Structure 1
Amino acid sequence: MLLGCDGAAAVLKEWPERPYTLTLPDNSPIGRTITAQTIRGFLAAGCAPSDYVNVFHKGEGLHPARFTADDRVVPASVQLLLDQGCTIQLRELNRWHPPLSAICAGIQSETGCTGYVTAFITPGGTQGLDYHWDQYLGIVVQLEGSKTWELFEPVVASPYRDHAMSTSLWQDEWVKQWQESGPDQTVELTAGDVLVLPRGWVHNPHSRKSAGASVHLTFVLKERVPLWIAERLIGSAINDSRFRAVIPPSGLDPAKMPETIEGVRSLILDYLAGLDVDEMSGALRRTAQQETSHATL
């Protein structure tokens, strides 16, 4: 639906490490049954849940009181903010729009990666979010208008979940360096274009060159990493009574703690050595395809 048969097969065979673009397949429901008007309709109808809508102006978020009432987004306020050059973000549409929920479920079944889809509306001649990087792979689908993506090589290795987030590691001098050197890639997306954006790549997206509004979807795929498997291998140890035994307060004493840690490490090694790998493989595959969030263990 997003990359076409050949594009999807390539991703499943070798996970992307550099950004590239494709054209949305002709038979994709994205862009036909799920359009820019679909996204605008959530706001115009006043049915968009306020917890899933953000508004940005020149890179800064606006307080929700500016555009919400009774846990819903106020249509008139949204239009006023768009007229003032604000970008509207509708987060995790798959939680409240069944067709997009089905597509995200299909992606998870195919790849084993959980994920979500977010929409952005950016007025022409403006910019919402500026320089940042994301923790996961993004597949950007342009629905309407155009958007420029200035892309820069990663400055941190393999960001994941809350580790190495751009908000926590940010250095202001990076922006000056990027502006002086220029982007490593510049991509102009128009309706029907798709950008595959690997995690960690810094991007500065804007619609400053666009006369009309830009509307796009970003499908986020939360990759599986060795830590994901390690967490579940250790998590399964709850079934072993040795891991449920109480550690007395004396075992947490600073002088005693190294011995306690060594004892638990030995337990882990013994437990893992006895695991049935074939049985665990089936269980983890089912978990990868069915869990709703891998932020929890």
Structure 2
Amino acid sequence: MSLHMLLGAEAATALLTRWPDSPFTLDLPDTSPIGRAINTQTIRGFLDAGCAPSGYVNVFYKGEGLHPARFTADDRVAPASVPLLLDQGCTIQLRELNRWHPPLSAICAGIQAETGCPGYVTAFITPPATQGLDYHWDQYLGIVVQLEGSKTWELFRPKVDAPHRDHGMSTNLWQDDWVHQWQQAGPDMTVELTAGRVLVLPRGWVHNPHARNATEASVHLTFVLKERSPLWVAERLIASAINDPRFRAIITPADLAAERLPETVKDVRALMLDYLDHLDVDELARALRHATEKETSHATL
């Protein structure tokens, strides 16, 4: 039911069968406990009390990240730096709150049990009339919950088809003239997200979020759902081959030589096809289902 807390019953049920490919907005359900699990006071409390681990906090100013030495001490965010950063117009990002705030951990675990998608939740505080992050896209679905204030989301259709994990990251493919193109053409969609509203943002959609039009600080959460893909199943199919002793045999250096390697590849491909042809599909499916619900290691997301 965790997904219902964010989207409501109808939209949550629809998402399970028709994964969105275009952004849309809705109201946070009146019955949602999100405000009790996490709110602006809680988030500021992590920072003001010096409880926020430095490895999970980023600070941005006009699209650029600040060096952690500007705001950390003893592996924690220095409380005295927080009001100074906000007064200077910096955006503070608290990453993966679910790893150190139990209520959000429970919500993310519930979403994973429902969808099979692991994920995390990140908080952003942006002072009024400022901008932190600017143009970029993400590799996974984001559900943005506005807790306080407002934020403008300028949205542009994807530049890359189905970015996933490290493939198709905006930081790796970035072209400087894209920003000029987006500014000249204008956004394909603009969303003014106010407190109590939710934005569902599919992977790949370029976004330029800002609080330049806001008169009070913007505080929002982004719940990230890391979608499963055919690649994820394929990786488990291949990984399961370790149980077959044929795949634990030694490939000699001679068979790794340039002139022999094509034949070695052909031999392993034939071995893989034979292995897959005799695989117990039902047994692997049970293992995969368990992984969809329980697997949270960052190395396997």
TM range (shorter): over 0.9
| Residue segments in structure 2 that go unaligned for 5+ positions in a row | none
**Relative to 1, partners in 2 of residues 1:21 and 1:99: Cα closer, same or farther, differing over 3 Å?**
same
2:285 corresponds to: 281
Structure 2 residue 240 is the aligned partner of structure 1 residue 239: no
3-state SS, counterpart of residue 200 of structure 1: coil
Q: Which residue of 1 aligns with 2:27?
A: 23
- Given the superposition, is the C-alpha separation of residues 155 and 65 from structure 1 closer, same or farther in structure 2, using an over 3 Å criterion? same
Cα distance in 2, alignment partners of residues 71 and 107 from structure 1: 30
Aligned counterparts of 1:62 and 1:294: Cα–Cα separation in 2: 24
Q: RMSD between aligned alpha carbons?
A: 0.9
Q: Distance in 1 between matches of 2:202 and 2:274?
A: 37
For residue 13 of structure 1, report the CA deviation from its aligned partner: 1.2
Q: In structure 1, which of residues 40, 62, 67 is the aligned counterpart of residue 66 of structure 2?
A: 62
Partner of 2:134: 130
> In the TM superposition, what are the counterparts of 1:140-155 in structure 2 within 5 Å?
140-155=144-159
Structural mapping, 1:168-207, within 5 Å: 168-207=172-211
Aligned partners of 2:250, 2:13: CA distance in 1, in Å? Answer: 49
1:43, distance to aligned residue in structure 2 (A): 0.3
Query: 124-133 vs 278-287, which deviates more?
Result: 278-287
Q: How many equivalent pairs are there?
A: 297
Matched, 1:92 2:93: no
Equivalent pair of 1:150/1:185 in contact (CA under 8 Å) = yes
Residue number in structure 2 paired with 1:78: 82
1:139 maps to a residue whose letter is I
Give me the whole-angstrom Cα distance separating, in 2, the residues matched to 1:191 and 1:142: 5
| Alignment partners' CA distance in 2, 1:102 and 1:199 | 24
Which consecutive aligned stretches of 4+ in structure 1 deviate over 6 angstroms post-superposition? none
Alignment-derived partner of residue 248 in structure 1: 252
Contact residue 31 and residue 192 of structure 1 kept, 8 A: no
Contact 2:37–2:103 (8 Å) recurs in 1: no
Aligned partner letter, 2:119:
G
Q: 1:44 aligns with which of 31, 43, 48?
A: 48
Q: Distance in 1 between matches of 2:41 and 2:189?
A: 30
Report the 3-state secondary structure (helix = DSSP H, G, I; strand = E; otherwise coil) of the residue aligned with 1:187.
strand
> Aligned partners of 1:79, 1:176: CA distance in 2, in Å?
33
| 1:35 maps to amino acid | N
Letter in 1 for 2:98: N
Shift of residue 294, structure 1, vs aligned partner: 5.9
Which stretches in structure 1 are left out of the alignment for 5+ residues? none
Paired AA for residue 101 in structure 1: S
Percent of aligned positions with the same letter in both sequences?
76
> In 1, distance between residues paired with 2:92 and 2:69?
14
Between the aligned partners of 2:214 and 2:297, the Cα distance in structure 1 is 36
CA contact (8 A) 2:132 2:210 kept: yes
